[in-house]
Amino acid sequence: MASKTENYQRLEQELAKITHMRNIGMLAHWDAATGLPKESVSSRNEEIATFSAVIHEMSTSGKIGQLIDASQGEVDYLDEWQKSNLALTKKSYDSQICISSDIQHEFSLASSASEFAWRQARANNDFKLLIPYLDRVFNAVRKIADLQSQKLKKSSMDVLIDSFDPGRTSSEISDVFNILKAQLPGLTEKIIQKQKGEKVIALSKPIDEASQRAIGLKIMETMGFNMDRGRLDKSVHPFCIGSNDDVRLTTRYDENNFISSLFGVIHETGHGLYQQNLPAKYRNQPVGGPLGMAFHESQSLIMEMQAGTCRQFTQFLAKLLKDDFAFSGPEYSEENLYKLVTRVKPSFIRVDADEVTYPLHIILRFEIEKTILEDNMKAAELPELWNSKMQQYLGIVPKTDSEGCMQDIHWPSGWLGYFPSYTNGAIIANMLMRAAKAKYSEIDSELNKGSFQSLNKYLNDNLRQYGSSKLSADLLKASTGHDSVQPNMFIDYLQDKYL
């Protein structure tokens, strides 16, 4: 006798195959970013593009479409996880079916080639080298967004944002960002004036890469990352990629600034902990994956900023550096380390920015993305617009494009619409930490000992275990008590911490 969910079960089997293919595709990207010989670049670009096209064909095949339709008739026999999985699959199918394999292949080829060109252009501060690659990516992204906009009856910007942060809209992001734009410049100036009177000792001694890696691995261990299901490597731009049981993290090293590398590791470990603690039962299904990048960034930023820059953790860090790595002297005291990791100053590089000025880096990128998408801006115009917005929001202008519009991998990789997730993620991280501390008052004392036990338990129980089974607003409500992002709460947190 046939099962009452026979078609749905067959759909899950097909989705598992697609997930396996995506996981292997991510490893090809990881390999390209960490160890690909330079003369292998061209062939790898073609391989990644072909692989991406094959996955797209599988995901939008007539077979998948028929199984989705047939599964709709079985919905009364599905549990809540299965219903969510079917809804997510249909949403993804509807957004992808309007894109041909040729268009998908062109996007993959353009973004892979651009990403490799970006590495060389950034290293040599040669933006002209990147221009044709970037224009090709922008054209491919605009073409895909236009097709999806027509199909889904949404604006092109909303289509891109939703692909990274499900359920979020451009207008909602603008409302949040307008509050931050009104509050942050004045708050930044007050904090800078307050910190002028503080004595801070700069880290004077270079720390070699091997020592920095050892420190990073030790911190990953204390945070609860399972090294039997992941690894740490080196790349130009820190990232986390992979599947639940194979999480690949990277960082970059600067011998004159080990804090930058360490906090890159802490950030990416937050991403990795999310991946490793998603629901194992649904690991090969859409419902078992992370719910977009705003929540993903909340998991990295709760570790990097909410936990990593608190006094309790810097006390632990100072003790660890002294006891395990023989770092002594006033520059490595807990008080000095705390001042270093909470120093507020407008800076050029987003990933090294303090948490007060960081949202301004995101706001300017969001506004530029809208110009790229809605006004068909050409890549050659990017440096001038970038520099003018840096002056407007941060009061500084980069001397080179490498520390300006070429610093991030996102646009060369075709990830337009991603950046708002960082600031929404930072706000959600603060909301999560408030809720976690309300339930577990021992979090601060645990961080003082280098333990993330209660914090991880809260995140596992209230966010990570749900995967993508809930809508964004419902997951936010379940994990923080609020169903929308609270920028004023974030402003209050910054005022309390820094003033």
* Within a domain: 161: no
- Are 386 and 445 found together in one domain? yes
| Assigned token pair, 449 | 């000992």
The catalytic site residues sit at 268
* Within a domain: 158: no
91 pLDDT band (50/70/90 cuts)?
very high
Average pLDDT over residues 298-304: 98
Q: Say yes or no to pLDDT of 204 above 90.
A: no
Distance from chain centroid for Cα 285: 21
pLDDT tens figures, 11-28: 999 999 999 999 999 999
Of 100, 121, 153, which residue sits at a domain end? 153
Q: Say yes or no to pLDDT of 140 above 50.
A: yes
- Are 331 and 452 found together in one domain? yes
The more confidently predicted of residues 222 and 328 is 222
* Within a domain: 165: no
The more confidently predicted of residues 45 and 174 is 174
* Within a domain: 163: no
Q: Say yes or no to pLDDT of 88 above 60.
A: yes
- Are 147 and 187 found together in one domain? no
- Are 267 and 386 found together in one domain? yes
Average pLDDT over residues 49-74: 95
C-alpha to C-alpha distance for 410 and 416, rounded to whole angstroms? 7
Q: Mean pLDDT, the chain, as a whole number?
A: 96
pLDDT tens figures, 445-455: 999 999 999 99
Average pLDDT over residues 187-204: 95
Of 127, 153, 179, which residue sits at a domain end? 153
pLDDT tens figures, 214-262: 999 999 999 999 999 999 999 988 999 999 999 999 999 999 999 999 9
- Are 250 and 115 found together in one domain? no
- Kindly report the CATH number assigned to the domain that includes residue 405: 1.10.1370.30
- Are 303 and 390 found together in one domain? yes
- The domain in which residue 336 lies consists of 170-498
- Are 255 and 403 found together in one domain? yes
pLDDT at 1: 47
2 pLDDT band (50/70/90 cuts)?
low
- Are 279 and 381 found together in one domain? yes
pLDDT tens figures, 151-180: 999 999 999 999 999 999 999 999 999 999
- Are 149 and 182 found together in one domain? no
* Within a domain: 278: yes
Name the percent of the chain lying above pLDDT 90: 95
User: Domain tally for the chain?
Assistant: 2
The pTM of this model reads 0.95
